Every structure is written in C-alpha cells, then in structure tokens.
C-alpha cells in the first residue's frame, strides 16, 4: 500500500515537473522566435483558384525567399481544415475553406495577416499574385 502511494506521488511529481520544463522552454522559444509562417488552409475539395493559390505561393517563396525558407525564418504549411488534427489551428485563424495567412511571430507575440481576399482576387494571375505576395512578405520581414 505504501509502495503504491509512493509510486503514484513519484509519477505525479514527474509529470508536474515535466510540464513546467516544457512550459518554460516554449515560453523562451516564443520570446526569441522571429519568423513568418505562411499558412495555406484548404478543404478537401479544391477549385482551380484554390490550387493556384498554393502553386503561386510555393513558387513565390522558392523564387524570392529560398534563404529564409532554408534558415527557418519563413515556413510554409498547407493545411487541410477537414482533417480533425487541424481543427484547432483552423479555429485559431478562423479559417474556413481556402484561406491564406501570414503568422508573424516576434517578441513573444503572434500577429496574423489575412491574405485570403487578395489570394482569391489575384490567385489566377501568377505575376500579379507573386509580386504582391513578395512585397507583403518583404514588408513583414522588416518588422522582425
């Protein structure tokens, strides 16, 4: 009996201690992290414009921000909002269907830049899309 109580307390203490270490690590990382997450949300069934948004976003990032992608200063994620594992992230950004966001992380804070309207209006115009997205990302990089 004493052994099982001791073991239970030891396990509980381990989990509490581990949680505190993880919370501190995440806090430190967030305060030091300076990056832009480019996030392309979509549903399972995608239209021509939805596919073009992803294609042109990828192209823009590879053409103009290859060094930032390699270093991790910019990341790119394509997220299917219909998958249960992505529900919380989609909810955080209030993304429904296809949505394009920049998540700018600096000084321990996140700031979302919603590019969804722009993406739908210019998504099938490669050069226009590419130039406007490039300009927006360059502007946001200066805030880091």
Question: Which residues are 106's β-sheet partners?
Answer: 109
Question: Which pLDDT does position 30 carry in this prediction?
Answer: 55
Question: At residue 7, does pLDDT exceed 70?
Answer: no
Question: Which pLDDT does position 84 carry in this prediction?
Answer: 96
Angle at 20 between CA 11 and CA 29, to 5 degrees: 140
From residue 41, give the alpha-carbon distance in Å to each of 7, 36, 101.
Answer: 45, 16, 8
Give 11's pLDDT tier (boundaries 50, 70, 90).
very low
d(CA 64, CA 14): 46
Q: What is the CATH number of domain 33-141?
A: 3.40.30.10
Burial-class residue 42 by CB neighbours within 10 Å (0-12, 13-18, 19+).
buried
Question: Which pLDDT does position 5 carry in this prediction?
Answer: 42
Confidence (pTM): 0.77
């Amino acid at each position: 009996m004493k052994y099982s109580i001791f073991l239970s307390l030891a396990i509980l203490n381990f989990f509490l201690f581990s949680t505190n270490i993880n919370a501190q690590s995440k806090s430190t990382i967030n305060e030091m992290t300076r990056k832009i997450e480019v996030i392309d949300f979509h549903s399972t069934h995608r239209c021509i414009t939805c596919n073009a948004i992803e294609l042109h976003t990828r192209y823009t990032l590879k053409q103009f921000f290859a060094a930032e992608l390699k270093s991790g200063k910019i990341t790119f994620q394509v997220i299917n909002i219909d998958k249960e594992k992505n529900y919380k992230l989609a909810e955080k950004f209030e993304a429904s269907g296809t949505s394009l966001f920049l998540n700018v992380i600096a000084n321990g804070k996140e700031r979302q830049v919603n590019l969804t309207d722009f993406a739908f209006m210019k998504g099938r115009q490669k050069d226009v899309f590419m130039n406007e997205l490039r300009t927006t990302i360059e502007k946001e990089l200066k805030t880091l």
